[in-house]
Structure 1
Amino acid sequence: MNQHIGIVEDDPNIQNIVSAFLKKEGFEVTVLGSAEEGLKLWESNPPDMWILDIMLPGMDGYEFCKKIRNESDVPIIIISAKDEEIDKILGIELGGDDYLTKPFSPRELVARAKRLFKRVQPTLTKEESENLKVEKLEIYPEERRVFWNGQEKEVTTKEFDMLRLFAENINRAFSREELLVKVWGEDYFGSDRAVDDLVKRIRRKFADLPLETVWGYGYRLRMKEE
Structure 2
Amino acid sequence: MNDTIGLVEDDPNIREIVEAYLTKEGYEVKAVDTAEKAWDVFETGAPDLWVLDIMLPGMDGYEFCKRIRQTSEVPILIISAKDEEVDKILGLELGGDDYLTKPFSPRELVARVKRHLKKWEAMKPLPEQGEEKITAGDFVLNQQERRVYFKGEEIEVTTKEFEILKILGAQENRAFSREELLVKVWGDDYFGSDRAVDDLIKRLRKKMKDLPIETVWGHGYRLRDGSS
Is 1:122 the equivalent of 2:122? yes
Q: Is the 8 A contact 1:120 1:157 kept in 2?
A: no
Q: After the TM superposition, which of the residue ranges 3-12 and 40-49 deviates more from structure 2? A: 40-49
Q: After the TM superposition, which of the residue ranges 6-15 and 149-158 deviates more from structure 2? A: 149-158
Q: Aligned residue for 2:135? A: 134
In 1: Cα distance, 2:207 partner to 2:89 partner: 28
Is 1:80 the equivalent of 2:80? yes
Q: Aligned residue for 1:151? A: 153
Q: Aligned residue for 1:213? A: 215
Q: Is the 8 A contact 1:77 1:98 kept in 2?
A: yes
In 2: Cα distance, 1:169 partner to 1:36 partner: 42
Q: Equivalent residue of 2:122, what SS? A: coil
State how 1:1-226 maps to structure 2 within 5 Å. 1-122=1-122, 128=129, 131-135=132-136, 136-141=138-143, 143-223=145-225
In 1: Cα distance, 2:224 partner to 2:48 partner: 34
Q: Is the 8 A contact 1:132 1:168 kept in 2?
A: no
In 1: Cα distance, 2:94 partner to 2:147 partner: 26
| Structure 2 counterpart of 1:15, one-letter code | R
In 2: Cα distance, 1:221 partner to 1:7 partner: 38
| Structure 2 counterpart of 1:109, one-letter code | L
Deviation at 1:94, TM superposition (A): 1.9
| Structure 2 counterpart of 1:80, one-letter code | S
Q: Is the 8 A contact 1:129 1:142 kept in 2?
A: no
CA distance change for structure 1 residues 33 and 115 in 2, over 3 Å: closer, same or farther? same
CA distance change for structure 1 residues 46 and 81 in 2, over 3 Å: closer, same or farther? same
In 2: Cα distance, 1:147 partner to 1:63 partner: 29
Deviation at 1:159, TM superposition (A): 0.6
In 2: Cα distance, 1:56 partner to 1:166 partner: 38
Deviation at 1:224, TM superposition (A): 6.8
Q: After the TM superposition, which of the residue ranges 1-10 and 18-27 deviates more from structure 2? A: 18-27
CA distance change for structure 1 residues 31 and 119 in 2, over 3 Å: closer, same or farther? same
In 1: Cα distance, 2:121 partner to 2:150 partner: 23
Q: Equivalent residue of 1:146, what SS? A: strand
Deviation at 1:223, TM superposition (A): 1.1
Q: After the TM superposition, which of the residue ranges 135-144 and 55-64 deviates more from structure 2? A: 135-144
Q: Is the 8 A contact 1:129 1:141 kept in 2?
A: no
In 1: Cα distance, 2:163 partner to 2:13 partner: 38
CA distance change for structure 1 residues 60 and 149 in 2, over 3 Å: closer, same or farther? closer
In 2: Cα distance, 1:32 partner to 1:148 partner: 38
* Residues 17-73 of structure 1: per-residue CA shift (max 9 Å, x gap): 222222233322100011121122222222222101112222222222222223322
| Structure 2 counterpart of 1:2, one-letter code | N
| Structure 2 counterpart of 1:193, one-letter code | R
In 2: Cα distance, 1:128 partner to 1:21 partner: 40
Q: Is the 8 A contact 1:76 1:97 kept in 2?
A: yes
Structure 1, unpaired ranges of 5+: none
Q: Equivalent residue of 1:26, what SS? A: coil
CA distance change for structure 1 residues 143 and 110 in 2, over 3 Å: closer, same or farther? farther
Structure 2, unpaired ranges of 5+: none
